[in-house]
Chains A and B, each alone.
Chain A
Amino acid sequence: MAASVLLACGLNEQKLPGFVHISEESNVDGSFLISCILGQRLRISNAGTLLVCLQHHYQHYFNAGMRLGYNCNIFLGKTLNVIDVLSDMANEGFDSKWLKTADGLTLTEQLIEDIRAQLASNYSNRNSYTILIDNLSILFNLGASKVQVQQFCQSLAALAKEYENLTVITKLSNSDIHQLTDNNVAKLGNVRIQVLRLKSGVFREVDGKLLIERVLDEGSYACEETRKEVLYKVNDRNVKIFNPGEVGVKV
C-alpha cells in the first residue's frame, strides 16, 4: 500500500536513522507520509511508537491507517502510545495544560517532559522506538517562539543520540515561511524529506513532489549527500510513486 513511498524515502527498513525531518511547503498536504511511516513501524514486531498529534486527531490516523490496511486500535496502549494534544485542548478547554503555562513550564518543555515520561515507561520493553511528531508549526500557533521550537527539536535529537534504536520523525508545514527553523531542524538529522507542490500548477495524476536528501558522510571538509526526486500521487487506498518523466499528459 505504502511500500513504494517508504522505499523511495529510505524509511522501509527496520532500523531507521536517528532523526528524520519532513518539510512541507505551503498548500501541500504531507500528512500521508506520517500515516505511511506509522503503518510501517506498527507492522514491525515489538517496535514501540509514540505518536504526537498536533495537526490531526488520533482518529484521523486511525481512519487513514484503515485505508492503508492497518488497524491502529489493535496496537493502541501496547506498542502504540499517543499524546493527543488537540483532543486534550478540546476536552479540557482553557484548563488544558497545553494552553496554561502551569509549573513554570513552557508548551515545548511540557511536551518534551511528556515524551520523556512515555519513553521511560515504554522504551525498555521494545527493540526499537519511534517518535512521530505530526506538525511542529502548530507549536508556533500555540505561542511557542522560534527559539523554543528549536530547543525542543534539539532535545529530541539529544534523545535520539542518548537512546539506541530511537528514531525521531518531525514534520513542519509552511516550511517556506518558517525557513530558518526548518533548515535548523533539518540540520539535526541526516535525512530530510521535502514535500513540494508542482511548480507548473495542478495535475490530476500527480499530487506533488518529494525531494529526499540524505547525508551519507559528513567529513571535516566535505559533506557527501544524495538527493533524490520523485513524484507522488495519493490515492484512496495507496500512494503511488513516479520518477520524473514517467508520467506524461495523455491526449
Chain B
Amino acid sequence: MRSFRNRTVQKPIRGTRTSPHTAQVITSSGNPSLDTILGGGLPIGSIFLCEEDRFVTHAKVLAKYFLAEGVLSKQKIFLGSLDDLPAEMLRRLPRPLTDVEVEVEQREEQEAQSEPLDKNGLRIAWRYNDLPLVNSEQAPTKIGHHFNLMEHMDPKKLYYANTTVWDGYKTIGVQEDISSSSTSVNEAPKEMQEIWDGFIQSVEALADGENNNEQSEGTASNTNTTNTTTTTTTTDTQSSSVIDPNMFHNSRYGRLLQDIQQLLRDKSFNPGAKKNLCRVCLTSLGSPLWYDEHFGEDLLKFLTILMASVRSCNSVCFITMPMHLIAKYDTTLVPKIRQLVDYAVELESFAGSDRETHPAFKEYSGLLHLHKMTALNTLAVHMPETTDLAFKLRRKKFVIEKLHLPPELQESSSSTASNDIMGPAKCGGNVLPINSNQASASLDF
C-alpha cells in the first residue's frame, strides 16, 4: 500500500478566502474599509449588526454594499425588510467598478493628495517631503469588489442573481443559476425576460399595495396579524413545518424566520459541502413597524434562533437596527441584542447635530463606534489598529477612516471647543459605553 496520497485541495466558496490571522473562512462585507476593520471580512456564520444613524442614510449604504457584493460573488441573497421595499432596494444596488476604474480612481486620489504639498513645498521641515503620505483610510485587502454609489448596478446582473426578498407580506424569489446557464448575459432568453418583467411588476404591485395599506391603516396599530399570508412566487419557499402560535406573539417574526431557515437548510449551504454562501440581510429590524406589547421578548427570541441558524451553515447575516429607538423602548434591550450578534457597529451621523458644522469634523459625515467584536470559532478577536473611527460618504463611495482632528482649530479657544465636542478624553472611548459615574474613575492598571 502506498503511503503517498494525492493532495486534494477543496475549492473555496465563491467570494470567500481563509484569513491568515484566524484561519477562518471570511467573506467581504462589500466595503473594503469595513473589511479591514473586521480583520479582512466577515467570518462565515457571523452576524453583523449595524446600528442605524438617525436618518438611516448611511446604514442603508452599507447594506447595499453587502448585497452588491453577494450579487457579484454569485452568492444566494435573502433580503427582508418591513420599512423598505426590498426589491426596490435591490434595484438600487451600486455599480461595481472594473479593475481599470479602481486603478484610475486610486491614482487620482494619490495625485489629489500630493498636489498641495508640491505646490507649497516644505521650507523648514523639508525632510518630511521625502516621507510617504499618511493615508488614514483603512487600507483595503484583496477581497471583495469596489463599487460606485453614483450609478446603479446593471439590471441584467440582478436578473441572474440568486435572490429572495421578504417584505412582511410576500416572499418573492428570482432564482437562476448563472453557472448552469449556457446563454450569455446579453442574450437572455425571452422566457427569463418575462419572469423578470413579472418580478418587476409584482414589486410595483407590492409598492402600491403597501401604500394602500398604509393609507387604510392610518393611525391604527402596526401589529397586523390577520391580513398577512406568506405567498410563494417562483420560489421553493413552501411551508414545511407549522409555526407554533405560542412561539412568537407577532407572527411576522415566525414567518420571516421560517423563510430564512428553509433557505439555509439547502444542501448547498451545508458546512461540509462548501458549495455556496448565503447572505441574509435584514434592514430596519426592530423598527416601530415591528412593535407590539411583547416586542422585546419576540425580538430576542428571533435573534437567538437566527443566530443558531446562521452559525450552522455557510451563511453570513447583516442586520440594521434603529438602536436609538429600541433604547427608548427599553434600555436593557440594547446590551441583550448586542450579546446575540458577533459584530456591533454604531453609525453616529453628524447630520442635524452641532458637529455637522464644527471645523473639527468638517471632513467627516459621522463617527463609527465599534461596540462589539466576538471571537467566533477562535480564541482571540481581531482588534483594529485604532477604535477611533469616522466615516465619510463621498460621491462615489463610503469610506471609514481613522479619526484625525486638524492640527490646530482656527478658533483661539480651540482646546475648549474640541473638548466640548469630543467630551472628556478616555482610552478607546468608541468601543465601550462608559457610565458617567465611572468615567472619572482611576485607571484599572
Contact = CB atoms under 8 A, between A and B. Distances in A.
Contact of A141 (B340, B381, B433): B340
Contacts, number: 152
Contacts of B242: 94
Nearest to B23: A63
Contact of A173 (B339, B376, B445): B339
B331 to A, nearest CB: 9
B175 interface: no
B374 A29 contact: yes
A32 B381 CA distance: 11
Contact of B445 (A100, A137, A206): A206
B301 A201 contact: no
A174 interface: yes
Contacts of B307: 86
A59 B308 CA distance: 12
Contact of B376 (A32, A60, A248): A60
A137 B339 contact: yes
Determine the main DSSP class of B at the interface with A. Answer: loop
Interface string A92-110: 0111000111000000000
Contacts of A244: 444-445
A64 B305 contact: no
B428 A201 contact: yes
B427 A200 contact: yes
A15 interface: no
A216 B261 CA distance: 49
A90 B427 contact: no
A198 B312 CA distance: 33
A202 B387 contact: yes
B427 A29 contact: no
B148 to A, nearest CB: 35
A6 to B, nearest CB: 15
A90 B379 contact: no
B375 A31 contact: yes
Contacts of B304: 138, 141-142
A221 interface: no
Contacts of A209: 444
B246 to A, nearest CB: 8
B106 to A, nearest CB: 30
Interface in B336-353: 336, 338-340
B415 interface: no
B296 to A, nearest CB: 10
Which of under 10, 10 to 19, 20 to 34, or 35 or more describes the interface residues of B? 35 or more
A21 to B, nearest CB: 18
A91 to B, nearest CB: 7
Interface string B340-371: 10000000000000000000000000000001
Interface stretch (B51-59, B152-160, B434-442): B434-442
A88 to B, nearest CB: 8
A176 B311 CA distance: 27
A214 B332 CA distance: 29
Given A26-B339, A199-B444, A203-B445, A100 B308 contact: no
A43 to B, nearest CB: 17
A206 B431 CA distance: 14
B12 to A, nearest CB: 18
B258 interface: yes
Contacts of A237: 379
B256 to A, nearest CB: 12
A45 interface: no
A8 interface: no
Interface residues of A, number: 59
A89 interface: yes
A27 interface: yes
Contacts of A199: 434, 438, 441, 444
B443 interface: yes
B292 interface: no
A176 B387 CA distance: 24
B80 to A, nearest CB: 17
Most chain B beta-carbon neighbours within 10 Å: one of A68, A93, A95:
A93
A197 B432 contact: yes
B241 interface: yes
B383 interface: yes
B335 A26 contact: yes
B312 A90 contact: yes
Nearest to B387: A202
Contacts of B303: 141
B444 A200 contact: yes
A133 interface: no
Nearest to B437: A199
Most chain A beta-carbon neighbours within 10 Å: one of B246, B434, B444:
B444
Contacts of A235: 379-380
Nearest to A243: B445
23 contacts: A26-B338, A27-B371, A31-B375, A59-B311, A60-B376, A67-B378, A68-B379, A85-B308, A90-B309, A93-B240, A93-B241, A94-B247, A95-B241, A138-B304, A141-B300, A177-B332, A198-B445, A200-B441, A201-B426, A204-B383, A244-B445, A245-B445, A248-B445
Given A60-B376, A137-B339, 4 more contacts: A27-B371, A67-B380, A90-B264, A236-B21
Sorted from nearest, which 6 A-B pairs have the closest CB atoms?
A202-B428, A201-B427, A90-B312, A26-B335, A86-B308, A63-B377
